[in-house]
Amino acid sequence: MIPLLQQLHVLGHALHLTVITRTGMQHAQCQLGHIASISYLPWDLPTLMQRFVNTLKPALLLLAETEFWPGMFKSCQKNNIPVVGINTRISDRSFPKYHASRYFWKRWLSPINLFLPQSPLDAERLIAMGVDTKKVRVAGNLKYAVQAPDVDSNALRKKLDPSLKRPILLLASTHDDEEKRLLTMMPTWHRLQADLLTVIVPRHPERFDHVGELIASQGLQYARWSDGQMNKNNQIILIDGMGVLQSLYSIADIAVVAGSLSSIGGHNPIEAAICGRGVITGPHVQNFRDIMSDMQIAGAAIVTNSDDELETAVARLLQHPHELRQLNGQAALFMQNKSQVLVKILDAIAPFLPKPCA
């Protein structure tokens, strides 16, 4: 949502953002606190939601992905507030439940003026849930509108690798059990590239200490990002801070996007691609199926079917630098070709936007 909200701010619109988690609040305050007011979303109960809407008096409600709150929709309808679904995605896991209760969702979603789903499949699923076909218009995935981070790449790389010579392997957004499986692959990779520096970024902050203990138990030399003491003997750097991952893609040589070795569904590969980095994943990429399919076709992603295949894929890129350069180059080209999604979404919501603030 960040690029869209930034553009709406530039156009002169006042913004209010709601979140439902503490991590979401922290991230929102860091990224958008200077352009939007931010609050937690109240419970979706008629009295609470009506009071919330009456207090904010919004001119337009934009729904991110599947933020489907019937009480909110009813309150907006009562106050003649248009509602537009942005970047709507109906996941494989949630669709059977939505479809089974489609009688209710047809009624609950009826106040929504327009849906802008990420893909044709998401559009089909919305229609199967009872949404009027005329209200559904595929606009593409807003994640393609992400901007490359504003980072001093040389300074960041020097912090991780004072020699500025070591190849960097980034293991991004790892989950429980994935770190252990990836660490067992490291001997193979180090035999091929003795000075390889592996950077591990766990997905959840509460697991930082556990991952550190796991690395130590493998007899590997590592440093923690928060300590700021990196040296040439470190085989691994554990990133134990928030908001660092996006910048790391800009300096990584090889990027593995985790959450895909187990049935979690994968994480956003666009954060790597916008930095000109192709990705390697495990088989479980259903959360980003369309993006991963498009990236594979473009030669910007490698989806492996097993741990052995992933180990081999990384090893091959270490042995064949020209293939790595091609993978990363295709990722950069892929993002250039997908850069118009923000314009499409702004054009679609333009009829619903209020007059900008003075």
**In the chain, domain spans:** 2-146+340-352, 153-337
At how many degrees (to 10) do helices 307-319 and 321-337 cross?
100
Please, are residues 256 and 281 in contact by the beta-carbon 8 Å criterion? Answer: yes
pLDDT at 133: 95
Cα 341 to Cα 354: distance, rounded to the nearest angstrom:
21
Report pLDDT for 272.
96
| pLDDT computed for residue 88 by the predictor | 94
**Which pLDDT score, from 0 to 100, does residue 253 have?**
97
Q: Identify the CATH class of 2-146+340-352.
A: alpha beta
- Please report the pLDDT score of residue 230 as a whole number: 83
Q: Are strands 254-257 and 279-281 parallel, antiparallel or unpaired?
A: parallel
> Distance between CA 317 and CA 197 in Å, rounded?
15
For residue 77, which of 104, 50, 100 has the smallest C-alpha distance? 50
Kindly state which CATH superfamily the domain 153-337 is placed in: Glycogen Phosphorylase B; (3.40.50.2000)
Contact of 280 with 313, CB cutoff 8 Å: yes
Q: What is the pLDDT of residue 23?
A: 87
- Give yes or no on whether 2-146+340-352 and 153-337 have one common fold: yes
At residue 290, the pLDDT reads 84
Residue 33 CA: distances (Å) to CA of 6, 38, 203, 241: 11, 7, 23, 20
The predicted model scores a pTM of 0.73
User: Residue 34: its pLDDT value, please?
Assistant: 94
**Which tokens go with 350?**
């333009």
Scan for tokens 């998401």, then name that residue. Answer: 122
Nearest by Cα to 85 from 61, 53, 58, 120: 61
Q: What is the pLDDT of residue 338?
A: 84
Q: Tell me what pLDDT residue 358 has.
A: 60
CB 331 within 8 A of CB 277: yes
Per-residue pLDDT reduced to its tens digit, 231-290: 888 999 999 998 899 999 999 999 999 999 999 999 999 999 999 999 999 999 998 988
Q: What is the pLDDT of residue 148?
A: 85
Ranges in the chain, pLDDT < 50: none
SS3 letters for the chain? CHHHHHHHHHCCCCCEEEECCHHHHHHHHHHHCCCCEEEECCCCCHHHHHHHHHHHCCCCEEEECCCCCHHHHHHHHHCCCCEEEEEECCCCCCHHHHHHCHHHHHHHCCCCCEEEECCHHHHHHHHHCCCCHHHECCCCCHHHHCCCCCCCHHHHHHHHCCCCCCCEEEEEEECCCHHHHHHCCHHHHHHHCCCCEEEEEECCHHHHHHHHHHHHHCCCCEEEHHHCCCCCCCCEEECCCCCCHHHHHCCCCEEEECCCCCCCCCCCCHHHHCCCCCEEECCCCHHHHHHHHHHHHCCCEEECCCHHHHHHHHHHHHHCHHHHHHHHHHHHHHHHHCCCHHHHHHHHHHHHCCCCCC
Report which residue type is found at 192.
L
